[in-house]
Structure 1
Amino acid sequence: MGTLSKLLCALLITFMTSTVVAQPAKKKNAKAKAPVAAAEASDATSGLIVKNIEVAGNRKIEKDAILTKIVTKVGESYSAQHIREDVQALFNMGFFNDIQVDRKATGKDVTLTYTVLEKPSVVEITYEGNSEVKSEDIADATGIKPYQLLNMAKVKEAVEKIQKLYEDKGFFLAKIDSEVQEVTKDETVRLVFKIRENDKVKVKKITFLGNNHMGDSSLKSKMLTQEGGFFSGISGSGQYKQEMFERDVQILRFLYWNQGYVQAKVDRPQVTVTPDKKNIYITIRIEEGEQYNVGDVDFAGDLLFPKSELREVIKIDDNGVFAYDVLQKDISELTAKYGDLGYAYANVIPRTRFNDKERRVDLVFEFDKGNKVYFGKINMVGNSKTRDKVIRRELKVHEGELYNETRRRQSLENIQRLGFFEEVNFKTSIDPERTEVMNVDISVKERNTGQIQLGAGYGTSQGFTLQGSISQANFLGKGQNLGASLNLSNTGSYYSLSFTEPYFRDTLWSLGADLYQSANTGRVDYDENHTGGAIRLGHPLAEYTRGFLKYKYDDTKLSKKYDSDGKLITDPDLFPLESASGVTSSMTGTVEYDTRNDRQMPTKGIYSSGSYEYAGLGGDLKYTRGNANFRYYKNLFWDVVWRNNIQYSRIDGLDGQEVPFSELYLLGGPYSLRGYRSYRVGKMKFSEMIYNDLIAEGKSDAEAREKAMRFYGGVQQAMYQTELQFPLVKEAGIMGAGFFDIGAADDVLTDNNFFADVGFGIRWYSPIGVLRFEWGFPLNRNPAYQDATVFEFSIGPSF
């Protein structure tokens, strides 16, 4: 029994023996009954009447609240038994540490005074020693709030809840203590929970029993809970979290159901903690049952389409094995088909019948179409910055029209694709006056679309870099894009300013402009400077498709390059700088198709574009250029994304001019073939000047000829990149990637001039951009010009 409980009992006994009943305390209850009864009888026969009842000592608890709890009433006969019941009732309120009742008699009239000592208020709750669990989460778990009365039973319960919270997060060694610190005597206290987190328990081993058809590695790879390993400190594997563990059970069941094991059972895992409480062993028992195939598939109920047309929508009968995820997708597609006819609340119920003898699942999709629904009011909620029209112009549905599920989904995707919001939800409700009308609240949670970034680093290709940018993707809440950036490195500099109005004067036309200046000293044979600007005009051509026209004015200046000794590097015969310097005035037409779910970090969708540039609108440099690009993104499972990029480009001279050599194509570097240095893949030419210099230095003819070959570039380039990106530490934005690249840059593309590489990398999606650390290994190379291993550090996405 606690100290406070003993004190309360002592006070109560003192009161009962000295104040209420004027009898000495008895050792046994049985012997005490007669005197108490005698006293009560004496009180009853004495004729004492309760004339007045007073309450003293209360500060926070109202007098009326206390009087409503007591049995004794003014005007009734005085009773010691009633006084005992009053004291017990007041203690049961939980507000008092002590209660005394004084009786003052004047003749037959009695005045009772109930003197209470209230429990102190908790004015502050603090948590000490917690670094792995947020104080807010601990507070939610305890349920104790500031300014409540101190209740030690609830404090003890809170300690147990905190202990359970830490155990659920894998901290089985955590120790929790509580301390009450007096702030104002008898009135206010501070409640302190002292936490020693200690080491986190690690998952040592996960064992499956009964999994005959699905291997351990296959099951473990899909679970959120992972066994600890050498890189646990970096990857976070081996952590035990109760919420993740509960989800793992559902994941395992889903995996079996998805493979046709529709009667599979996954028992609740058994968790064994080692005596030192540093490791746990998990055992999961599985009853797989038999694998079932898809049997007969039929349709019933309110059929609005021929069965043959409905059968074209579903995919489950193509799979052979009964797959739960395919079934869910089929239900979604069938529901959408009815929804496109206005039946917003159509219900598709899959009726299954198990044929255990033939191990088949016969399936009937039963339709309940409900009633047709029309869109009512469409309201925007949560957009404190973004104007309503910025959201509304992305909608494919309108007030008053018949409900359409496909266009509703497209509207949701269009708003998400803007990138202005963390969350977008369509909340629907029935109009109380017209049940056939559905009102829609488009609820958004805005994200910070403005960024000011400044970063510095070191890249193997660029050397030391300094990056800075100011961007606002939702300028003034109008959906406009304003940005300025700079990039300074050992290999050059780049400055730019851009502005885009996606809906010029509230039309479907987009209008934008760019200004830029760059200096590139990264080429081996010459330096390159550009100053220019562009005006862009765009308009949608079809769903997910836009057309653009861009006029560009560019002033190019090429300059000679010298080594550290002041010796000329540029071969004027091979690279006649004046022929590639001058003004380019061009018009480019582009068609883009974009279904990506996120333009910054896509996990699914397609991006493709085709463009044609005509550089012949005046100016000095004249050529034509064609580009084609196709990118494909697919979320294979969980957070593993398959990314693909195919690109082809060609440039040709115009009006009898040769293509400026600075515009010819070379590959290599962190943004093309990652197993080769920048500008190290492509057509090469022989430099007579370099050859003669090397011969003069005493080099052999073979060595001089080899080193005199310069990367020149070709009029065509083709490239394919593919990679798998997966999370390493998801919470920190650290991803891993494995990649394969192949490409060529030459005048004529043949099998012999394609180069390929493989590699892996680590990417950090940091506040200053995507930091990429990648190791590439060329599969075919010329040792004289290309390294066996290439490490690249760069800032920016791969594609």
Structure 2
Amino acid sequence: MNNSIDGLKKHLYRFSATFFLLLFCQPFLQAQEVSLESGKEYILGGLEVTGLQSYNEQTVKTYTGLRVGQKITIPGEEISSVIKKLWGLELFSDVTFYYTKIEGDKVFLELNILERPTLANVTIYGVKKRKIDDIINDTDLKKGKKITESLIANTKNYLQNKYKKQGFLNAKVNIVTAPDTTGTNTQNMVISVKKGDKVKISSIEFEGNEKLSDKRLRKSLKNTKKKKFYRFWKKSKYIEEDYEEDLDNLVDTYAERGYRDARVISDTFVKVDEKSIKLKIEVEEGDKYYFGDINFVGNTVYTDRQLSQILGIKKGDTYNGVLLKKRIADDSKPDAEDLTNLYQNNGYLFSRINPIEVSAVNDTIDFEIRIIEGKETFLDHVTVVGNDKTNDHVIYRELRTRPGQKYSKENIVRSVRELGQLGFFDAEQIVPDIENPNPNTGTVDIKYSLVESGSSQIELQGGYGGGGFIGTLGLSFNNFSLQNIFNGEAYKPVPMGDGQTFALRLQASRTFRVYSLNFAEPWLGGKKPVRFNLSFSRTQQFATEFDPSSRNRFEVDKSRGFAITGVSAGLAKRVQWPDDYFTISHALGYQLYDFDNYNIGLFNFGNGTSNAITYTLGISRSSQGPGRIFPLYGSNFDITAKFTPPYSLFSSKDFKALKERSDEIADSASDGTPLTTAEINELQEIEEERFKLLEYYKIKFRGDWFTRLVDKLVLRTNAEFGFLGNYNNDIGDVPFERFFVGGDGLGNFTLDGRDVVQLRGYENNSLTPLSINPITGRQEREGGTIYNKFSLELRYPFTLKPSASIYGLAFLEAGNSFDNFNDFNPFQLKRSAGVGLRIFMPAFGLLGIDFGYGFDTDANPGSVGPSGWQTHFIIGQRF
């Protein structure tokens, strides 16, 4: 009871004090409107903070900055500043000062605060569960957040705009809050989203257009399309932001055709129903104009004739404002051939070029291209940041920009490409920053910001094939450092940072073993881009016999088999002619083919050895970019010629007689009659004699073009050709180095230097010609000596992040292989089409899957009709 009476007294006292102060301070309030200095000065006798629920009173007092005993003016700046300061925290919904008592020159104040409620839980209805977390993160609706009117309004606007951008123009969002009884001054928030149906565009109508047809104008609206049943790529939903951009595109369409005064007078949309709208666009076309005289003013570095050639616009041409802008500065292409790049590629960073209309008489417009060339600019400092693993010298040697050189935008673009091609950095995040430009001194700095990506790969897989388990271990370190191999501190997990390549691959099963070791130094000696490569390999294949009583149905005889041991060394140098994208390579190799009672019919001799000493000349040109994994532009061309010495020119052997006898024995088995043991032995002896020293030449060509169509939609065009020939027809074609076409293009192991050529939609090697093996009497694939292949591939990336790059593709392919040049018909192709997916992870390399449909019959015995659907798994293939 006493507490109630005391409380009532307090409220009555506060009311009377407030009433008194209103009367007492009225002169001061009126005076304050004129000048703050006219308020009366008091000494603060006390300050009480009321209304707090979750904050400490002393904390609030300290924050206000008011101290008992200080002088304050009432009304005055001190009180106003405190109120403004507290409101700025956005923690309170009301902040009020009261005069509770005045004793002489002392004033006692009460600060009454109403705290904003705190967010406890958020419940969202009307969206998929997996989307709720994203919405909460995007709107920052975290537990403990203060609930304000702006928070609610911003959340509502965000969600409505979010769904409107997706085509839900009728989207409605309702937000309510309710007290949460489990906490102090907390509230729960409930968000209800009603997206409604997507609003499609049923029709687009134009008014006022006479010069350009409705069809042409609709085509200019790149992102705003009317609803059609066959349209899949471009949707017909209405998105305001895209629509506004398309209206600019529409005006540009007129400007490209000479109508520089064309404009959109009005645009409206009419609601047809809940699911569709109709757009109406009224245009004013104006007259058609033509270019008149075009004069250059201010140019001293280049002549008028040189500038006119780059501009590419002549007097009398139809006025094209879009083209004129691009020829001055094409922002869509960093390496465009325009006037701005002409100057910036030759040191004039500070140049400015402005086209000015000087007269417009009748239908002709005269221009002045006014040029301020500025001072010639040189590079002062060139730095790189972000390379945590890769040593600086590996990066700097690839840069086309060096201190003291003239500034060149072309060299910067090329440097970005070269860094992306290294494979050590995320090509999407290589940023050249122009810093400290000084037009007075003519200097500028460049800083390349890099993001390291995983450059090493591990291949660890197992599978079943060839009658048993196949295990593979592959380690590839693409940024290796040989000089630190004895430095224990550099092993993280191996020495890295010098840009070298070290790869080790081991593969084994019950029937074969493969070992390979490769080392490459891209800058031999460290001064010039001369690549040195050294590799060793050994392949062992064991004989197998079919045994129906065995659990594996095949028994392996490791005392019988054959092996290939090879070593090669090569040098490749980047050259400057015809341009500096070209590389010429040379390689020397030696292969030893060793047969030990290996009479399975793969080759026509089972005992003995063959030797091959080869020289390979390669010419390649690579201008693809910006990265290796997903190129957006450029091309790759490779042509290689592999030769052995023509031993037969210096030999007294009668190769003609040997070949005739070999053909005679083989022909005797062509009707299915098995060879006798004596004939088999004789045939093997002849074949070993013919191919003791292999002589052949092998020519291969491969070309890839990358064309950016829209955004990051890229068309890859591919053409390939290969031919295996001989110097001496009396010897014939060697049984090794053949072409095997069809399937995924992957070989678990390479027995004989063969090229396994991808052609999806067909079984592996199924487009390789068949022939009767005279020893086994069976049809076997001995490989073709010539092949050609063509493909088109549309690619689009889903993500190109450093952790994983993923893109989808659709392809058309055609190709075939042939026994000899006489049978070769470049138009006799096996066709296929399909779709696929690629995933590149730095630690594991390239992984993928393709679904291909073969339209033609393959070369398998008994095949009729199309090959049909085939599934191909891709591991570690060329990008």
Change (3 A) 1:468 1:264: farther
What secondary structure, in the 3-state scheme, does the structure 2 residue paired with 1:663 have?
coil
The 1:123/1:162 distance shift into structure 2, 3 A limit, reads same
Corresponding residue of 2:110: 114
Q: Deviations over 1:232-286 (max 9, x none)?
A: 7xx895677666555555555555655666555468975677876xx45463636
Does residue 448 of the first structure (1) align with residue 454 of the second (2)? yes
Query: In the aligned structure 1, how far is the partner of 2:508 from the partner of 2:422?
Result: 30
Q: For the structure 1 residues 594 and 157, does the alpha-carbon distance in structure 2 shift closer, same or farther, using more than 3 Å as the test?
A: same
Q: Do residues 335 (structure 1) and 331 (structure 2) align?
A: no
Asked if 1:544 is matched to 2:581, the reply is: yes
Q: Give me the identity figure in percent.
A: 18
- Please identify, of 15-24 and 431-440, the stretch whose mean Cα deviation from structure 2 is larger: 15-24
1:502 and 2:489 matched: no
Q: CA separation of 1:63/1:733 partners in 2, compared to 1, >3 Å: closer, same or farther?
A: same
Task: Answer whether contact 1:538 1:548 (CA < 8 A) is retained.
Answer: yes
SS in 2 for 1:500: strand
Letter matched to residue 297 of structure 2: A
What is the CA–CA distance in structure 1 between the aligned matches of 2:324 and 2:463, rounded to whole Å?
Answer: 50
1:662 match:
736
Worse overlay, 726-735 or 534-543: 726-735
Distance 1:388-1:730 versus aligned 2 partners, 3 A rule:
closer
Which residue of structure 1 aligns with residue 655 of structure 2?
Answer: none
Counterpart contact for 1:223–1:252, Cα < 8 Å: no
1:218 to partner: Cα distance: 7.3
Contact 1:482 1:498 in 2 (8 A): yes
The verdict on how the C-alpha distance between 1:463 and 1:206 changes in structure 2, with shifts beyond 3 A counting, is: farther
Q: How far apart are 1:390 and its partner, in Å?
A: 1.9
> 1:481 Cα shift?
3.3
Structure 2 spans left out of the alignment, 5+ residues? 1-7, 31-39, 51-55, 330-337, 481-495, 543-560, 648-691, 745-756, 841-845
Mapped to 2, the partners of 1:226 and 1:218 lie a distance apart of 9
Q: Does 1:608 align with 2:642?
A: no
Equivalents in 2 of 1:284, 1:666: separation in Å? 60
Counterpart of 2:45?
A: 52
| Aligned twin of 1:29 | none
Q: CA–CA distance in 2 between the matches of 1:630 and 1:385?
A: 34
CA distance in 2, matches of 1:21, 1:558: 116
1:156 maps to: 152
Query: How far apart are 1:500 and its partner, in Å?
Result: 2.7
The equivalent of 2:400 in structure 1 is 396
Instruction: Quote the offset at 1:686 in angstroms.
Output: 5.3
Matches within 5 A, 1:26-65: 37=23, 52-56=45-49, 59=57, 62-63=60-61
For 1:169 and 1:457, locate their aligned partners in 2 and report how far apart those are by CA, in whole Å.
48
- Indicate if the aligned counterparts of 2:718 and 2:792 stay in contact, CA closer than 8 A: no
Is structure 2 residue 615 aligned with structure 1 residue 587?
Answer: yes
SS of equivalent to 1:441: strand
Change (3 A) 1:336 1:18: same
Aligned residue in 2 for 1:775: 853
C-alpha distance 314-39 of structure 1, shift in aligned 2 (>3 A): closer
1:413 has 2:417 as partner: yes
In the aligned structure 2, how far is the partner of 1:220 from the partner of 1:442? 38
Correspondence for 2:215? 215
SS state of the match for residue 755, structure 1? Answer: coil
Q: 1:493 to 1:103 in 2, by over 3 A?
A: same
Shift of 1:576: 0.8
Q: CA deviation at 1:49?
A: 7.5
What SS does the corresponding residue of 2:412 show, helix, strand or coil?
helix
Name the structure 1 match of 2:14: 19
Letter in 2 for 1:772: D
Corresponding position of 2:821: 748
Residue 503 of structure 2 contacts residue 517 of structure 2 at CA under 8 Å; is this kept in 1? Answer: yes
User: Does residue 1:344 correspond to 2:349, yes or no?
Assistant: yes
In 2, Cα distance between the equivalents of 1:423 and 1:673? 34
Deviation at 1:544, TM superposition (A): 1.4
- The answer as to 2:786 corresponding to 1:716 is yes
Give 2:350's aligned amino acid. Y
Aligned residues: 732
C-alpha change, 1:492 and 1:676, in structure 2 (3 Å) is: farther
TM alignment of 1:561-600, pairs within 5 A: 575-578=603-606, 582-597=610-625, 598-600=627-629
| Alignment RMSD (CA, Å) | 5.5
**For the residues of structure 2 that align with 1:434 and 1:39, how far apart are their CA atoms?**
63
Shift of 1:478: 2.6
1:788 match: 866
Q: CA deviation at 1:725?
A: 0.6
Are residues 1:477 and 2:492 paired? no
Evaluate the alpha carbon distance shift between residue 146 and residue 297 of structure 1 in structure 2; reply closer, same or farther with a 3 A threshold.
Answer: farther
1:585–1:617 CA contact under 8 A, matched in 2: no
User: Secondary structure of the equivalent of 1:625?
Assistant: strand
Q: What is the CA-CA distance between 1:608 and the residue it aligns to? A: 1.6
Task: Find the counterpart in structure 2 of residue 647 from structure 1.
Answer: 720
Structure 1, residues 202-221: CA drift from partner, whole Å, max 9, x if none? 35336332285363797389
Partner of 1:9: none
Contact 1:623–1:657 under 8 Å retained in 2: no
Moved more, 788-797 or 246-255: 246-255
Rounded Cα–Cα distance in structure 2 between residues aligned with 1:673 and 1:356: 63
Give how far 1:777 is off: 2.1
Report the alpha carbon displacement of residue 612 of structure 1 after superposing the two structures with TM: 2.3
1:762 CA drift (Å):
1.4
- From 782, 790, 796, give the equivalent of 1:727: 796
CA-to-partner distance for each residue in 1:153-178, whole Å, 9 max, x for gaps?
A: 23322332333343244365564546
Kindly state the Cα deviation for residue 362 of structure 1 after the two structures are TM-superposed. Answer: 5.5
Structure 1 residues 214 and 507: alpha-carbon distance in aligned structure 2, compared to 1, 3 A threshold: farther
Counterpart contact for 1:681–1:711, Cα < 8 Å = no
Amino acid in the other structure paired with 1:311: S
Note if 1:372 corresponds to 2:376. yes
Return the offset for 1:464: 11
1:313 pairs with one of 310, 313, 325: 310
Distance apart, 1:301 and its partner CA: 2.7
Please say if 1:300 is aligned against 2:297: yes
Deviation at 1:399, TM superposition (A): 0.9
Indicate the SS of the match to 2:855.
strand
